[in-house]
Amino acid sequence: MAMQFTRATKTKIKLRMALDGPSGAGKTYTGLAFATALAGPNGKVAVIDTERGSAKKYADLFTFDVLELNTFAPTLYVEAIKAAESAGYDVILIDSLSHAWEGEGGVLEQHEQATLREPGHNSYTAWRSVTPEHRKLVDAMLSSKCHIIGTMRSKMEYAQVEDERGKRTVKKLGMAPIQRQGMEYEFDIVADMDVDHNMIVSKSRCFAVADAVEKKPGAAWFSNVITWLDDGVVAPVATMPPAIVQPTSATVKPQRPAAPETVKGWLLTKIKDSDPTIAVDGLRGATVGSLHMLFPEDDAETKAAKRHALTTYIFGVAESAKLTAAQCQALAAWATTPTPTGVKANEFAKAEAAKIIESLAQPAQA
């Protein structure tokens, strides 16, 4: 493939911002203030609340819709983000992202369970089935067509300090955010808040607020960020290859998408993958880069050939990735079929993909 560099141009972007701090720092309030300013008078704000309804305590000050999560698997966060996008919200406030890491059903709990399933209870190898779950949450935030503001709790540390009168008191300090190490690299702006409601911008791609320190920041302070987001040309919209039109007939029963449970069932039994949800998201076209997880035991050449054919299948045939149960069954069987001895992997993959495409012209039994 020929590679060519082009002149970089600043484009209008969607915000990715993190607010971290200890309990009582004002993360929820500040997040709502920023989200409201970002949405504008005609925009809509969605809040994904993991804090037992804490956001609703500010419903008299801000206008927003809320979805409360009681368990915190990263996949639930992804579903909530997708639901907000489909509903036409402009800004999503995730309060908080820390639960996806250490809450019930979160990454650490999943890792603990995966460790028990590993031979010898190897905690290191257990991460191979858990890390992709966390990566999908990050990818969902980065690829969202909505602005994303996420809050994160900070680990607590207490220190004795001396006030202006010489009296020593115990003060609660915030430490590193409770999330996967390096999570802050995923955001455009990261701001740390303390118990006195001071906000310190520790990372910013927006020079107007870099290293800023603000007490109880509100919409007025946030206006510089909005100006930065709107400064630039409109980003080009990525287009997918046109879908292959399947022949229709008055006698052919319309295909209906398989239920998620059906899809997971096929993949769990047919695809050799420790985590069927990874395969489900791959098949539904979430990310082309994750498709290699469908074929963990193939060699590199076979993976590449199958990934190419499967990508063609998803974007060219399964429009909007609405797969029927029969299609999932056929695809799962193909994904685990070994390459015959003496046959090149890419030739085999192309031939098998052709068979699947041809079979889709026939009525599918959903």
Instruction: Answer yes or no: do 216 and 295 share one domain.
Output: no
Q: Secondary structure of the chain in the HEC alphabet?
A: CCCCCCCCCCECCCCEEEEEECCCCCHHHHHHHHHHHHHCCCCCEEEEECCCCHHHHHCCCCCCEEEECCCCCHHHHHHHHHHHHHCCCCEEEEECCCHHHHCCCCHHHHHHHHHHHCHHHCHHHHHHHHHHHHHHHHHHHHHCCCEEEEEEEEEEEEEEEECCCCCEEEEEEEEEECCCCCHHHHCCEEEEECCCCEEEEEEECCHHHCCCEEECCCHHHHHHHHHHHHCCECCCCCCCCCCCCCCCCCCCCCCCCCCHHHHHHHHHHHCCCCCHHHHHHHHCCCCHHHHHHHCCCCCHHHHHHHHHHHHHHHHHCCHHHCCCHHHHHHHHHHHCCCCCCCCCHHHHHHHHHHHHHHHCCCCCCC
Which domain range does residue 326 map to? 260-359
Instruction: Answer yes or no: do 95 and 187 share one domain.
Output: yes
Establish if 10 belongs to a structural domain: no
Residue 302: other Cβ atoms inside 10 A: 18
Per-residue pLDDT at 90 exceeds 60: yes
Taking all residues of the chain, what is their mean pLDDT, rounded to a whole number? 75
Instruction: Answer yes or no: do 276 and 194 share one domain.
Output: no
pLDDT given for residue 232 in this prediction: 81
- Quote the number of domains for the chain: 2
Instruction: Answer yes or no: do 144 and 39 share one domain.
Output: yes
Establish if 294 belongs to a structural domain: yes
User: Residue length, the chain?
Assistant: 366
pLDDT given for residue 182 in this prediction: 82
**Radius of gyration (C-alpha) of the chain in whole angstroms:** 24
Of residues 174, 171, 180, the one with CA closest to residue 156: 174
- Boundary residue ending a domain (211, 230, 249): 230
Establish if 235 belongs to a structural domain: no
Establish if 55 belongs to a structural domain: yes
Residues 289-295 have a mean pLDDT of 40
Instruction: Answer yes or no: do 67 and 120 share one domain.
Output: yes
- Boundary residue ending a domain (230, 252, 282): 230
Instruction: Answer yes or no: do 339 and 224 share one domain.
Output: no
Instruction: Answer yes or no: do 62 and 157 share one domain.
Output: yes
Identify the weakest region by mean pLDDT among 46-50, 192-196, 225-229, 291-295: 291-295
Instruction: Answer yes or no: do 53 and 163 share one domain.
Output: yes
Establish if 78 belongs to a structural domain: yes
Establish if 247 belongs to a structural domain: no
pLDDT given for residue 129 in this prediction: 86
Per-residue pLDDT at 83 exceeds 90: yes
Per-residue pLDDT at 253 exceeds 90: no
Percent of the chain past pLDDT 90, that is, above it, reads 41
Instruction: Answer yes or no: do 73 and 171 share one domain.
Output: yes
Instruction: Answer yes or no: do 94 and 214 share one domain.
Output: yes
Per-residue pLDDT at 59 exceeds 60: yes
Residues 5-19 have a mean pLDDT of 91
Per-residue pLDDT at 295 exceeds 70: no
pLDDT confidence of 195, banded at 50, 70, 90? confident
Q: Rounded to 5 degrees, what angle do the CA atoms 213, 222, 41 make?
A: 160
pLDDT confidence of 106, banded at 50, 70, 90? very high
CA 263 to chain centre: 20
Establish if 40 belongs to a structural domain: yes
| pLDDT per position as a tens digit, 200-233 | 999 999 999 999 999 999 999 999 999 999 888 7
Establish if 364 belongs to a structural domain: no
Of 189 and 231, the one with more pLDDT: 189
- Boundary residue ending a domain (210, 230, 250): 230
Instruction: Answer yes or no: do 152 and 221 share one domain.
Output: yes
Instruction: Answer yes or no: do 44 and 102 share one domain.
Output: yes
Residue 19: other Cβ atoms inside 10 A: 28
pLDDT confidence of 197, banded at 50, 70, 90? very high
Q: Residue 170: which CATH number?
A: 3.40.50.300
| pLDDT per position as a tens digit, 150-178 | 999 987 666 777 777 778 877 766 667 88
